[in-house]
Amino acid sequence: MSAVEILDDDIYLDAENSFNLFTVRKNSEGATDEERGRLEVVGEYQLGEFINRFRHGSLVMGLPDSEMSQIPTVIFGTINGVIGVIASLPHDQYVFLEKLQSSLRKVIKGVGGLSHEQRRSFSNDKKTVEARNFLDGDLIESFLDLNRSKMDEVSQAVGVSVE
């Protein structure tokens, strides 16, 4: 482990020395002390950076009545100087963006023949599994760099207009 942050009473965000992020959930409703003390892995993601610090907060000042200011965020720092943000999205936004990410994976080809799924697969000494319950903001943002025909293809797959 290289960094840990409490997201809420039951969910924790973790980083480890194989450049992965993962989230775990405590089973507060467990029948025994052992069940309540066990953590279940609920999200896994290969960031590719060694995170050494998490902090609750934001890189920008939010407007008090803005919808975006209600989304909890955690800032992270890495040993390479990377600063990033992890946001806990509402379920409906997550579902939409996950669908968009999935469609983008089919249109955008990875560098050197490495697929996005392979690049972001959680991997350490004990296991390698496909990323889950994390979204790649860089991939989603790349939608804006696509030509109009590719944008149309992705937006049709998601079921929304390009605009």
Task: From 33, 59, 88, give the residue that closes a domain.
Answer: 88
pTM of the model: 0.85
Q: Is the pLDDT of residue 4 over 80?
A: yes
Q: Are residues 51 and 13 in the same domain?
A: yes
Q: Are residues 72 and 150 in the same domain?
A: no
pLDDT digits (tens, 9 = 90+) for 77-125: 999 999 999 999 999 999 999 999 999 999 988 777 788 888 899 999 9
Task: From 31, 54, 88, give the residue that closes a domain.
Answer: 88
Mean pLDDT along residues 14-29? 94
pLDDT digits (tens, 9 = 90+) for 116-163: 888 899 999 999 999 999 999 999 999 999 999 999 999 999 999 988
- Would you state the structure tokens that stand for residue 102, as one six-digit string? 């999935």
Q: Are residues 49 and 115 in the same domain?
A: no
Residue 149: beta bridge partners?
none
Enclosing domain of residue 32: 1-88
For the chain, the C-alpha Rg in angstroms (whole number) is 17
What total number of domains does the chain contain? 2
13 φψ region: left (φ > 0), alpha (ψ -120 to 50), beta (else): beta
